[in-house]
Amino acid sequence: MRRTGIVLAARGAKVTKIADAAETPVPPLGLALETILRAAKPLAARPADRKVALVFTEEPGFRWLINGKAFGEHTPIAVGKGERVEFTFEDRTTMAHPIHLHGHHFQVVALDGKPLAGAVRDTVLVPAKGRVTVAFDADNPGHWAIHCHNLYHMAGGMMASVKYEA
């Protein structure tokens, strides 16, 4: 398998030559790595107080939607301080989406509906036609963005927000 890319290095750093071909085939981007990652400090075990489905779709003209709405058309996702919240990201598009939640860290708790005690992070890759469920504790009141980190997807509408109830 041929390699391509760039190497970023600090000025003066030694950069060794990288082979132009990989030693083993690389599988398509998916959930394989996610199945083996585990949290160093997982969330405390407790059931979710609120479960929210976030479905990703696409439309012609580079419109990328969450639950059928582009950012600005959406209704903020309500959460209550102290709640354990689960988001299930379902990607019905032809591309993978790295989904980022501002102001919080979440734990990956299911992949394609199969429970696991996965990694803790603030961004997770949701592969095309895949489902990833994450859980977080609503412990940072405010109005927070949740969006695709592919910036042209975010600019095309794939952004929503999480807002704490008063």
What tens digit of pLDDT does each residue of 80-136 get?
999 999 999 999 999 999 999 999 999 999 999 999 999 999 999 999 999 999 999
Model pLDDT, residue 69: 97
Q: Is 155 helix (H, G, I), strand (E, B) or coil?
A: helix
Beta strands in 75-141 (DSSP E): 77-79, 84-91, 97-101, 106-111, 114-115, 120-121, 123-126, 131-137
Q: Name the helix (H) or strand (E) containing 154.
A: helix 151-155
Torsion of CA 9, 12, 17, 22, to 10 degrees: -10
Minimal CA–CA distance to 62: which of 100, 93, 35, 106?
93
Its CATH architecture, for the domain 33-164, is Sandwich (2.60)
Nearest-angstrom CA–CA distance, 164 and 143: 7
Split at pLDDT 50, 70, 90, the class of 6 is: confident
Whether pLDDT at 25 is above 80: no
φ, ψ for residue 35 (rounded to 5)? Answer: -70, -20
* Residue where the block lists tokens 């990328």: 64
Model pLDDT, residue 20: 82
For the chain, domain boundaries: 33-164
